[in-house]
Each structure stands twice: as structure tokens, then as C-alpha cells.
Amino acid sequence: MINVLIVEDDPMVANFNQTYLQDIEGFELMGVSCSIKNAKDMLKRFKIDLILLDVFMPGEQTGMDLLEEIRLEQYEADVILITAAAEVENIQTALRLGVVDYLIKPFEFERFKNALTSYRHTKQSLQQQETIGQDELDLLLNKKMHQANEGESLPKGLTSSTLSAIYEEIRGFAEESFSTDDLAENMSISRVSIRKYLKFLTDIGVVDESLIYGIGRPVYQYKLNKFKCARIKNYL
């Protein structure tokens, strides 16, 4: 059986998903979480194979935040997004983070059933053998999803090698705040260039920016956002 966790804050939608799931063979519902916090607790308590995840959730964290954390913590759980979030940027980010399918509300039962049965078939096929031929693999993989997972292009003037070097330096600060000068002290990169990369990393959410007021001019401080740092993989 495939253990499923539904993460959905709307009771009516959660009930629909639960009813749909019961009509498809091979799946067992482990629970319904109406908050990200509860979903995290369920992931720690039970072996979850598949998460049916909504994007818009109450509280500070969204379903996308949970998806990134699942990847960061390397939980062995697959994710199908079931959400009203139809923005292309959202969909592309989700695909790059490895969701196996993306259902936009409202949807018909047949689309739901297709997503679940396709997932079940792929999972069972891969579990039954140690190696697989190219032809069989091609039948299992969704070509469009594979293409959508290709990396993003960096803004003009930035390079992946320099971005990688700066990111590695930032990781050394762990949860401590740092400034442009802190990075420049240990790198042979100009402060002007470092600021450009920090702006980019702030724009994609990998680092958080704050302005500190003290004696003299205000200083921008940065801090690595461990829940969103997986986003940088799209650009390296």
C-alpha cells in the first residue's frame, strides 16, 4: 500500500480528496493535516510515501515552503500539488522541486485518478527491478515535466561559477548575519559584484535582507534562508 497524507486547510476540499482517494486501489490515507505544522508532525511520526499538498495554507509557511523543506531534509516522500495556484512561476518552481504532478482546482475525478494511478504504476515499476532499459524508462517519465525541470538562466552579467563561490562562502556563516564587507574580506571579488549577487539571491529568496541602523550610515545585513536555499540549484 502507498501511504498518503493530505495537506489541505479547506475541510470540504479535504473531504473530496479523501473520498476520491478511497475509490482508487493501492492507497491508504494516513491522515489529513490542516496546517503546515501538523503536516511536519505527521511526517516525523509516520512513513509517508505521497503527499497531496495545497499551496495556500494558514500561517506564515505555504505549501511551497513545506515542499522545499521536504527536499532540504531529504524526506523520502513524493508530492502531488493540488491547488488553485495557477501562476506559471509557481508551477515551474514546483516542477523543479520534483513534484510528480500538479492539479489545478477545480478538477474532475478522472484527472485526480489519472495522477494517482500513474504515480502508482511508476512507483511499482521502479520497485520491482534494480535496473531499467531506456525504452521502459521513457514510458515512465513525463517528457514535458522533465523539460520544465531544466535550469533557469541567470541575469545578464552573473555567472554560475561566481554564484556558486559566493553561495559557498555564505553557507559558512550558517545562521549568522553577514554584510557585503564580510564576504569581500574572504573573497577576491569586488564589493560591487558581491552586491549584485546578493541582490539576486535576495530576489529568489535564498537570503533575507535587513537594514541595520547604528552609528554612521545604515548597513545591509543578510542571512541565509535555510528553507529556501534549495532554489539556488536551478541556477548552478
Q: What are the domain boundaries of the chain?
A: 2-148, 160-235
Strands across the sheet containing 50-53 = 27-33, 2-7, 50-53, 78-83, 101-104
In angstroms, the CA 233 to CA 45 distance is: 29
| Burial label, 153 (beta-carbon count in 10 A; 0-12, 13-18, 19+) | exposed
Q: Model pTM?
A: 0.59
* Class at the top of the CATH hierarchy for domain 160-235: mainly alpha
The domain made up of 2-148 is a member of CATH 3.40.50.1220: no
Tens place of pLDDT per residue across the chain (236 aa): 999 999 999 999 999 999 999 999 999 999 999 999 999 999 999 999 999 999 999 988 999 999 999 999 889 999 999 988 888 888 888 988 989 999 998 888 888 998 999 899 888 878 777 787 776 676 666 544 444 444 467 888 899 889 999 999 999 998 899 999 999 998 989 999 999 999 999 988 899 999 887 666 778 899 998 888 878 877 87
List, in order, residues 6 or more apart from 128 with CB less than 8 Å away. none
pLDDT of residue 184: 93
Per DSSP, the three-state class of 230 is helix
What does the angle CA 113 – CA 115 – CA 120 come to, to the nearest 5 degrees? 90
pLDDT at 3: 97
Secondary structure class of 5 (helix, strand, coil):
strand
40 φ/ψ angles, rounded to the nearest 5 degrees: -65, -40
Which residue type, as a one-letter code, is found at position 154? L
What pLDDT, on a 0 to 100 scale, did the predictor assign at position 150?
46
Distance, CA of 150 to CA of 138 (rounded, Å): 17
